[in-house]
Chains A and B, each alone.
Chain A
Amino acid sequence: MNSISIANTGSVSNEQITRDLLPSKFGKRGWIWISVLVLLCLIGAFAYYRQLAYGLVVTNMRDYVSWGIYISNFVFFVAISLVGSLITAVFRLTNAKWATPLTRIAEIIAVSAIVFASLIIIVDMGRPERMLYLFTYGRIQSPIIWDVIVIGTYFVISLLLLYLPLLPDFKILINSKGPAILKKLYRFQGSFWKGTIEQIKISEKAINILCIAIIPVAFSIHTVTSWLFATTYRPGWDSTNFGAYFISGAFLVGSGGVVIAMYVFRKYYHLEKYLTEMHFEKMGRVVVLLSLLYLYFNINEYMVPAFKMKKPEQAHLEALFTGEFAIIFWFAIVVGMIIPIIILLFKKGRRPLPMFIAGIMIVAGAWFKRYIIVTPTLLHPFLPMSDVPVSYHHYFPSWEEWAIAIGSLSGALLVITFFARIYPIIPIQETITERHENNEEQ
């Protein structure tokens, strides 16, 4: 595989690489895509306005299901953001050079997901105007405070890991043709970068430190998020396995997201020379490994309690396996894990299009999986649900909840889309340098 990519590089000049990878204007399809996303965001904003005006009563959450799709959407965002640390840091530290063109895609997914994770958690608050109480009255023994701390840290490190590798590209961007306003932005963000040996040294060192630092922080954000559930007594949440279970699922959904983004960017910007079949092939192997790992944790998570069938667990597990939530539960397992594993085990399955389809299955399965983790547990409390209206016994999100959840997903996509318009989605300077190195080796 490596020999193919090296053979390709010989024929491509630096100017050609720069021309191919510079951000370009949106075409017709691009504008339609953006309009749809903006529309969805506006509908979400209107739904949130209604929620602010009337209270959380516009949702269908009630005293038993007190956490709904806002929280499962939050967990989804935190999960998908973990891929930044995997591809940028883990692959870099293990010298997996092939992943260089994917780093920026992974990092912008991480940054936009973490931003919308924070927003969606504010949406879930009954008193968003008291958000600052988290800092003025914060109590360190609450896992929510741990989450605030680690998510804040993760956001800063991810932003730096997005920004520092961009510095060499700013020089190219400033010298390229483009709208004056973008030039101004590039100059503001990166005109101090001269590309001297000293600067490169500092930048390399900083990136290495950040890559090491981000790994424990990434593990923390999702472990702590899993503890929001695992620190309670409830059936389905009361598990010592939750941290590892959540992290493996997070790496899976993030990698699925990267595969989708790779396919779309490759098609839309004609990046076949840079996001090659080799990249899909290798990502396919990563994804199949992660799917198997997540499947393993799922079997662990459901098989062991099902074997014992403790009384409080029983109603919950039956609702998942054969009851009210069976369709979503099995969708998440079969479509979100088993079918992608089958597709990706075959070499033909690791080509771009089947990978793209498997990626969509993984991400959709993962979203519903988070729903399955949050809601069914709340509908199976220890004491019976007595003396409450019938509507408290069930949960199906209201249109406002759907609109806000979909709006937040659209918002994250919009951030990624605009990022790709403004900045090169594949690092230009790094691509040039690596190809030179490869040529010299040749």
Chain B
Amino acid sequence: MENGLAQKLVQALREAGINFITYLPETRLSQILPLLRADPSVQLVPVASEAEGITIAAGAVLGGKQAACYLESTGLYVSSYSLVTMGKQLGVPILLVVGFLGGFGDRRNSFLYATIGNRTIPHLKGLGIEYTVLEDGEKLSVKVKDAVRTMNALRAPVALLFAGEFTL
């Protein structure tokens, strides 16, 4: 992704009130990491599994933070148990910032990712998690704010799947 788009995404997260982000590094959106690291308004928390990316974010939300979990879409499979239990059953809103690899919009798609990617949306539907796919930076700030408002209203995780220009 172009550096300008990464800056736009980090700015959008900040404007939506996100102030706590757990993450397991991945490639598609990786340009946001140094920007987040340099942002004193965001507490950035590295994790060893997306499953704990969700539980740690959930704890932060219950402690008063507005939290996101940044993960690759494969991490949605890894974290499914945490998403269902902490996210859906307990009802804790967490913004899922997902590098959507393997989908139609993945500009780096290959045989390594396609099988995983084409099950991502059915998987989210199975988990009952609302989502939207973002292909470019148009109205990005509004879309991130919409997602945060929705997750707080639902008291549940909501996913932003970043594809298209975000995967370059």
A binds B: no
Which B residues fall within an 8 A CB radius of A? Answer: none
Which A residues fall within an 8 A CB radius of B? Answer: none
